[in-house]
Structure 1
Amino acid sequence: MQVKISKTQVDRMTAGQILADKEVKGFVARKLDSGAVTYGYRYRDKMTGKQRWLGLGLHGNITADKARDLAKKAAGEVANKQDPVAEIEEARAEAKREKAAAVNTVNSVIDAFIKRHASNLRSADQIEHAFDAYVRKPLGAKSIYDVKRSEIVTMLDGVEDEAGPVMADRVLAHVRKAFNWQAARDDEFKSPIVRGMARTKPKERARKRALTDEEIRDVWKALESAEVPVCYPRYVKSLLVTATRRNESSEMNSAEIDGDLWTIPGARYKTKLDHVVPLTDQAKALIGAKPEGFKGNSWFVFSTTEGKRPFSGFSKAKKDLDAEIAKIRKADKRDAMPRWTLHDLRRTARSLMSRAKVPADHAERVLGHVIGGVRETYDRYEYLDEKRDALEKLAGLIELILKPRADNVVQFAEAAK
């Protein structure tokens, strides 16, 4: 029914009735079953041909004349090949994006990623350190929707300059996972990370660094004088004498030790299987006694909280240790020690076992590596004597390295029998 829409006409409407205005084509009033009357403008988008409905307001909140004026304005926009509904939708989407941008900063995404995902990983502390050391300062305050590829590249340049290309790639991997995690739950976010940002090739990232005898002596000497937590020297030495990984040793708990056997539970071991490490006298000397005043039944062996929590201040302690090594070598007028990591001690232990004539299979079992061809049924105590012998020979060689003598060759020959 075409009439001039007015308050009088609207007040006479019945539920479900629609009035079309005779002055402005497309301007209508519609009475809903609820009794409310809504004004609107109907038109076809000239680009797509789709029919559109532009709500103009509810009767009572807006007058019929005011609604007609809005309909005229919309008709003029449509005549100019504009789409009023699309413009409103885009404005709303932009407002939504702006609101999300204010909340979803890189820092907030990192925090959520760590809490909901990374905290469950064995490498959680390494991931968090990478974010804290290299990502938060340059990008943390930015909205994730505004992070550009060039900014990622600039950040990685800084990491490479400070810590090398391998670390840059590790940071890239952590950021990529965090951004992909966010993209999976955010319709508006698209990660700016693309292929080609890595600084090394996979084969180049595989480290082969093993410390020389001189470097081992430097590390041991620096541990005696470096300003590091009391547990740190024992902890670092344990990495070499037990050939374990960083977190495996740092999280050593007294409950895992039975006599001269340390069983690393599969829940925190890379292979997901229990791994038994025979403890040499050298290793047992590093474990120490129950912390004074500790009331529990089990405690963390390497701890700055009297056994309550495992040691975790890796970054600062390592920097202090490196500074002490540099000081020692400078005093001796020697070149600076090449960059090394705590994991290099595990690789060094493997190298030393080869020097001590430990059979390759036995040395690999000490490291917890899977040996091809072994039976599928796993026995945690399998090859225990062989592993004990390998670690005893490793301990003997370490002693000879730390206390070099002219008759080292003879001494080692006897120890290796």
Structure 2
Amino acid sequence: MAKITVPLTDSEIKNAKSKEKEYCLFDGEGLLLRIKPTGSKLWVFNYYRPYTRKRANISFGKYPALSLAEARKKRQTAKELLAQDIDPKEHRDSEKASKKDALLTTLSAVSKEWFEVKKKKVSPITATRIWNSIETHILTDLGEYPVTKITAPKTIETIKPVQAKSSAELARRLCQRLNEVMNYAVNVGYLHANPLTGIKAAFDSPVVKHHPTLKPEELPELMKAINYASIKIVTRCLIEWQLHTMSRPSEAAGARWEEVDFKNKLWVIPAERMKMKKEHIVPLTDETLFLLERLKPISGHREHIFPSHGNPRKPTNSETANMALKRMGFKGRLVSHGLRSLASTTLNEQGFDSDLIESALAHQDKNQVRKAYNRADYIERRRVMMEWWSSQINIYCSQRHDNHG
């Protein structure tokens, strides 16, 4: 006849005294209370492992911290797992490991891992701006959440106030950067899928603010203003250099003599100075080479083509051309970055190949086949276009390069 186990009572457990040797009180269905010589009482569940059918024990916790009723709940949970052929001990160890992993894969921790990779691909200033935006607007609220617990609704709720207080553009950038972080988490195995794909649809589209620029028919007015402006020679040449080369203000202002290949008539801007971190080659025309010849007596012995007036060992500020254009009466009508738009509009109106124009502007080409083709053939085709553009500018320079400044 099978032995019947009488369930334990709270008073029985409370009054149980320690003995010289360890002994157990049985509650039935595998649950027992192990009482040690020290007087400590430990709840243990004894069971058969799935598949192997070997006996095993799993500790539930100490009494009285874990009451009889709570121990029985744990026994029931363990029995439910066993009914599904899940080992309770292995299940508990797996959950502990998951919780430990969760602590190591918080959004804050993963963002820092991602940033270590990201900052190598952008300039130090851009890297600082990216991290500050994430730290300020995202990690303050979501940083301690494991990436597995980050959801689209929770993230949208966090970014919404940013859009209201700051701008739609900042909200868009935060969506973009968070998606990069979560894609990184997927790639390294922290997540199975990125839950934030498409969250930008929850926000207003940023209003595109174009840089003020002139119409092609206003080019004569600009060249006349440059010719008669009371500005330094270096500044005058910088503005014309930007106009002829279609380069960005920072790229032009930071130009170095070592970047100029006089033999092949090329200006080779290294990747680290480019917005897209890709080397950019600009075919030089007779007009741009003339500008360089004019600057040689001034800065030919220095590192930078356009040296700073205050410290010639450093390049001029990228805002120098902007300030000069304002003084020349173009405030609100034209900024130095708008010189690129002026060139682009003029060349497009003249029917030049849009791919050549985009290449001249150093816009990123997502077509991989065309990118390879650009390198080999576009330089010479661009040279023809750039020579036309320089000659067009030159038409309105009847008094160019006078002795003003």
Structure 1 length normalisation: TM-score?
0.53
How far the C-alpha of 1:41 sits from its partner, in A, is 1.9
- Structure 2 distance, partners of 1:145, 1:192, is 21
Amino acid across the alignment from 2:283: V
User: Distance in 1 between the 2:224 and 2:25 partners?
Assistant: 92
> Alignment RMSD, CA only?
6.2
Structure 2 distance, partners of 1:401, 1:74, is 95
> Judging changes above 3 Å, is the alpha-carbon distance between structure 1 residues 308 and 5 closer, same or farther for their aligned structure 2 residues?
farther
Deviation at 1:242, TM superposition (A): 0.5
Which residue of 2 is the match for residue 382 of structure 1? 380
Q: What corresponds to 2:283 in structure 1?
A: 277
| 1:55 aligned onto 2:66 | no
1:15 match = none
Structure 2 residue runs of 5 or longer lacking an equivalent are 6-15, 36-40, 48-54, 81-87, 146-153
Local SS of the residue matching 1:348: helix
Q: Give the equivalent residue in structure 2 for 1:174.
A: 177
Task: Specify which of 151, 165, 175 is matched with residue 158 of structure 2.
Answer: 151
| Residue 350, structure 1, aligned to residue 325, structure 2 | no
- Map 1:373-412 to 2 at 5 A: 378-379=376-377, 382-383=380-381, 386-387=384-385, 389-397=387-395, 399=397
Q: CA deviation at 1:172?
A: 3.8
Report if aligned partners of 2:356, 2:381 keep a CA contact under 8 Å in 1. no
| Residues in 1 aligned to 2:390 and 2:246: alpha-carbon distance in whole angstroms | 12
**Letter of the structure 2 residue corresponding to residue 27 of structure 1:** L
- Aligned AA for 1:117? K
Is 1:262 the counterpart of 2:266 in the alignment?
yes
Tell me if structure 2 keeps the 8 A contact 1:114–1:128.
Answer: no
In 2, Cα distance between the equivalents of 1:53 and 1:322?
79
Alpha carbons of structure 1 residues 9 and 300: separation in structure 2 relative to 1, 3 Å: farther
| Map of 1:27 onto structure 2 | 32
The verdict on how the C-alpha distance between 1:300 and 1:69 changes in structure 2, with shifts beyond 3 A counting, is same
Count of residue pairs the alignment pairs up: 342
Q: Distance in 1 between matches of 2:163 and 2:294?
A: 39
Q: Any conservation in 1 of the 2:44–2:60 contact (CA below 8 Å)?
A: yes
Where in structure 2 are the equivalents of 1:109-124 lying within 5 Å? 113-121=114-122
CA distance in 2, matches of 1:219, 1:159: 38
Aligned match of 1:41 in 39, 44, 47?
44
Does the CA-based 8 Å contact 2:26-2:33 persist in structure 1? no
TM-score (norm 2): 0.54
**Deviations 1:100-132 (CA, angstroms, capped at 9, x unpaired):** 76xx65xx87665443224324x7744644665
SS in 1 for 2:391: helix
Q: Indicate the residue corresponding to 2:245 in structure 1.
A: 242
Mapped to 1, the partners of 2:173 and 2:294 lie a distance apart of 31
Shift, 1:26, TM fit: 1.4
CA distance change for structure 1 residues 113 and 288 in 2, over 3 Å: closer, same or farther? farther
Whole-angstrom CA distance in 2 between matches of 1:308 and 1:271? 24
One-letter code aligned to 2:59 = G
Q: What's the CA shift string for 1:247-270, capped at 9, x where partnerless?
A: 644553322212272332675676
